[in-house]
Structure 1
Amino acid sequence: MLNESRRRAYLTAMQVVTWLPRTELPFAAPSRPELLVVPEPPAAPVMAPPVAQVAAVPSKPAERPKIEVPRPSVTPRAASKPVAEADTAPVVAKVVPLPTPRFALQLLRAGRCLVLVELPTGGAFQSRDPAYLLLKDMLRAAGLPDSPQIIGEPIRWPLLRRGNVDQGPEAAREFVQGFLMARLEDIECACLWLIGLPAVRFAGQANAEAYHRDLDIEGLGCVWALPGLELLMDEPHRKADVWQAMRRLMARWKPINE
């Protein structure tokens, strides 16, 4: 049998703090009554129901109702223009430059008249050219010297073959008229004959509808518009109109005593 001291040593070695024998042990110390009371297990804490936990969570503030605010359209302004405004918008026309005119003119003096005549071939008149012979016949019929005096070099247009100088119709008109005005300052002229469409257009500021008519051009005085020499040779019936107009105008350059 184990005595009390040895028994406690065994229990301590086995890390037994409290023990209770089933029967009374010999040589054992009397038992303490408080050790025989078995304490009741502590009551388990009462858990709150899940609903209470949910209620404890702070609720989110109620959302305000959304109000749709109209915003301006992203459509370009040009597309939103009224139809009437779009229809009345000015249309910019593309300016097409006029072609450079090409011609050759010769100024002649016959009595009291100056003759600006188109050179049919572009070159100076030759004594046996058919166009020059027709011109001599016209001067003779008008009572003027049939051997006209050449004044200056022929006017050839365009003046320059290259470069950026304006050589359009307006520039050609200004040049031809300026050339004639300079000559009229030194030469007496009762009537200026314009023979050929280039002469009529760039000196008389007229067109083919002015043939056989006398015009009054500022700075040039009395002007008589005539078809070109080649046109008169190709269409001989036009000579009758020339003769009728000549008879009406002869008084301008013929002496009064004739």
Structure 2
Amino acid sequence: MKTLRRSSEACMRIDVLTIFPEMIREFGAHSLIGRAAQQSLLDLRVHDLREATEDVHRTVDDSPFGGGAGMVLKAGPIFDTVEREQPPRPLFLLGPGGRKLDQACAQELVACGGFSLLCGRYEGIDNRVREHLVDDELSIGDFVLSGGEVAAMVVLEAVGRLIPGVMGNADSAQEESFSAGLLEHPQYTRPADFRELAVPAVLLSGDHARVERWRKAQSLWKTQQVRPDLIELRGGLSAEDRALMKEFKSEVENLPRWQSPDTA
């Protein structure tokens, strides 16, 4: 991904270009994204590519040169929409060829202060858009979708919750899964005993420092078990990590769904 520069505007603006604007607008009206818009923390603008067409059928696609199955999104409506609306840059084409969205990528996006998403559809998009209009590509994973709208919603959710002031608890976004490169620790709420299943005693102890150590240990154990690739990305387990895991090893071994990795 290219270097992102932060916009000078306090309210983050995100534009989405699509042929299904109601999908994005409906999503943007609810939950965290809707609350961010109501609080003037996020300016979500959705542009219907069909509004840039001139024929009675509002045609945005055509058959590919050289033959082949499916239809291709035309360059004209996309170029015209960008030139008319001047969406914030960078402009990302959503597709499998781009950088894969992860927590670090989401943090980079929110830091830039504003950006735009172009949703593909059908068999593909006229390559002149990719070569001469968009700044980069962004992917949400190695699988096939019918269009970029669902991917746009994923990006909006991942970035929107990181906008300062959006989350109810200012620390929540930073403490969640992946923010520290680890899966989140287990969560419990009342009652403390449910069908003879008790909450770990440490959470009821009132010892906040020990609770934090327990949570970190649980995150390490869980990540090591189900996402060892994330541990590798952190450079492996540090001596401090191993000591923390050893401190709470007996408690983890009593959890039937997890197998304790060797911390020797």
Q: TM (normalized to structure 1)?
A: 0.27
Structure richer in helix, relative to its length: 2
Q: TM (normalized to structure 2)?
A: 0.27
Higher RCO, 1 vs 2 (CA within 8 Å, ≥6 residues apart): 2
